[in-house]
Structure 1
Amino acid sequence: MTMKKMVILMLLMVSVSLKVETSTALELCDMDDEGITACKPSVMKPEPVAPSEECCKAVKGANLTCLCSYRTSPWLPALGIDPDLALELPSKCNLTLPADCQND
């Protein structure tokens, strides 16, 4: 194989791996994987911590109605997130959950 073909092949492999890595990014209720990562220590048992400034920033940009819809879903626990702790984040970040979420 010529050097030119090897370089082209390597560039294609890097390009494909970058696309695969980008496509695995997690987004939940308008929170990207960075926001979820920032909040994870606050929504994991047994010893959750107070939400960080980065976490609260992510929660402020989140769709809280969407977050509420995950209250009884198996998806949050599958991600290691306690749904009850997740629903406490808005109040800990000085936000109010939608009224229909508070009545669940």
Structure 2
Amino acid sequence: MLMRFSALVMVLTAAMMMEEAKSIRLCNIETKDAESCRPAVVGNNPSPPVNACCAVVRAVNLPCICRFKSYLTTYNIDPARVRALVPKCGIRTVIPPACQA
């Protein structure tokens, strides 16, 4: 679960750094597509993840994106909410040790 969390960290971070009309391909996904997860990880009462967000979570290359997890709090994203996306999207995974730190 933490591995998926780490993957989302970078994707969300990259998506927020890009202008709305721009996107980059990063670890198998387009950063603009990660914006679909934003409502599920910010604010006082985040909404459940939409299907498009779960598609991003499933598509991301986890080993690639794990190394960017430290950027999450820079954009006021609650790490616990990002971790919660994994089970909410029905994803079960083994978290590699490198992504748990």
Shorter-chain TM-score tier: 0.5 to 0.7
Q: Between the two structures, name the one with larger relative contact order (CA 8 Å, sep ≥ 6).
A: 2
TM-score by length of 2: 0.58
39, 56, 63: which one aligns with 2:37: 39
Tell me if 1:90 matches 2:47: no
Are the structure 2 counterparts of residues 48 and 55 from structure 1 closer, same or farther at C-alpha, using a change threshold of 3 Å?
A: same
Are the structure 2 counterparts of residues 80 and 26 from structure 1 closer, same or farther at C-alpha, using a change threshold of 3 Å?
A: farther
Counterpart amino acid of 1:33? T
Counterpart amino acid of 1:41? P
Residue in 2 that maps onto 1:79: 75
Sequence identity, in percent?
29
Counterpart amino acid of 1:88? A
| Residues matched between the structures, number | 82
RMSD of aligned residue pairs (Cα, Å): 3.1
- Matches for 1:1-40 after TM superposition, within 5 Å: 25=23, 29-40=27-38
- Residue 81 (structure 1) shift: 2.1
TM-score by length of 1: 0.57
Q: Distance in 1 between matches of 2:26 and 2:78?
A: 14
Residue in 1 that maps onto 2:59: 61
Counterpart amino acid of 1:55? C
Are the structure 2 counterparts of residues 81 and 65 from structure 1 closer, same or farther at C-alpha, using a change threshold of 3 Å?
A: farther
Q: Which structure has the larger Rg?
A: 1
Are the structure 2 counterparts of residues 88 and 65 from structure 1 closer, same or farther at C-alpha, using a change threshold of 3 Å?
A: farther
86, 94, 100: which one aligns with 2:96: 100
